[in-house]
Structure 1
C-alpha cells in the first residue's frame, strides 16, 4: 500500500526508526550557508549576464559587405557610444590585464 510519509506508493522503512520524520528529513529548515551561497550566485550570475549581453551586442554583427548598401536617407549604424563605449574600454583592459609579454 501507500505509506504515510512517502505519498508516492513506495515502501516506507523509515517508520521503524525512532524519531523518524523529524531527525531524518529536516526539509522545513534552511540549510546553513544557503543564504550566502544563493546571494553570491545571484550577484555573480547577474554580472556574467550583463557581460554576455555586452559581448553579444558588440560581436554579434555581420560584416559590412554582407549587408545591403545603406540608403542615402538613413543614418548608418556605428559602434557603441556613450556608457557602452566606456564599458567596452574597461572590459577590454580587464580581458588583457593578465597577459604577459615575456
Structure 2
C-alpha cells in the first residue's frame, strides 16, 4: 500500500503507524513521545476527503491537538493513525 505525505508517495504496510512511515523516509515529524499521547509533535493535516475514513480520534488525542497552535478541523496525530488497506493512498500534509 501507499500513503501521500506532502504530495509525495511513500510505501507503507497495513498495521503500521503513519508516524513510522514518515520517520522511515526521513520526513520532519518528531514524534517525541513515540506515540504515548504526551505531545503533539507528529501533528499532520489529513486531506478533507480522507478525514472521515479514519478511526475517530480518542479524547486523549483531541486533548493533545488542543495544544497545537495551527490545528485545523482535519488535524490528527500521525502516531494515532494506524494504516489499513482501506487507507491505501491516504493523503496528509505537514503543517
Please state which band the TM-score falls in when normalised by the shorter chain. under 0.3
Normalised TM-score (structure 2): 0.19
Looking at secondary structure, tell me which structure has more helix per residue.
1
- Higher RCO (Cα < 8 Å, 6 or more apart): 2
Looking at secondary structure, tell me which structure has more strand per residue.
2
